[in-house]
Amino acid sequence: MKFKNYYKILGVKRTASSADIKKRFKDLAQIYHPDKNSSEKAMIIFKEIMEAYNVLGNLDKRLEYSQYLHGNKLNQQIIAMKDYEIRKERKI
């Protein structure tokens, strides 16, 4: 199985926030969505974008992916980011 760099597919940094990832996904989805772009290449790109967003848009899946991708060096950043976003949602 070929490795896919989801950060590169979406064009975001590894330290991007969930909001940045969501915004970038929406921008790319508007360009490559099959209803707006009927080419075969656009369909393939759209599927990759969806796959990348499904992983990076979910903090738990993103943490697993990060562990797989980079070992333990980014785990602390993502855990801290996850904690920050949870606190922000709960307004703690």
| 54 closest CA partner among 4, 1, 2 | 4
56 pLDDT exceeds 70?
A: yes
Give the CATH number of the domain where residue 13 resides. 1.10.287.110
Q: Which position has the token pair 């979406």? A: 10
Question: How many structural domains are present in the chain?
Answer: 1
Predicted confidence band of residue 1 (pLDDT cuts 50, 70, 90): very low
Dump pLDDT digits (tens) for 31-51. 999 888 888 999 999 999 999
pLDDT at residue 20 in the model: 93
Within 13 A of 24's CA, how many CA atoms are on the CB side?
A: 20
State whether the Cα torsion 48-54-58-63 is positive or negative: negative
| Assigned domain for 68 exists | yes
Predicted confidence band of residue 68 (pLDDT cuts 50, 70, 90): confident
Q: Is pTM beyond 0.75 here?
A: no
| Assigned domain for 82 exists | yes
What is the domain range of residue 77? 6-90
| Assigned domain for 1 exists | no
**The amino acid at 38:** S
Contacts of 86 (CB under 8 A, 6+ apart): none
| Assigned domain for 17 exists | yes
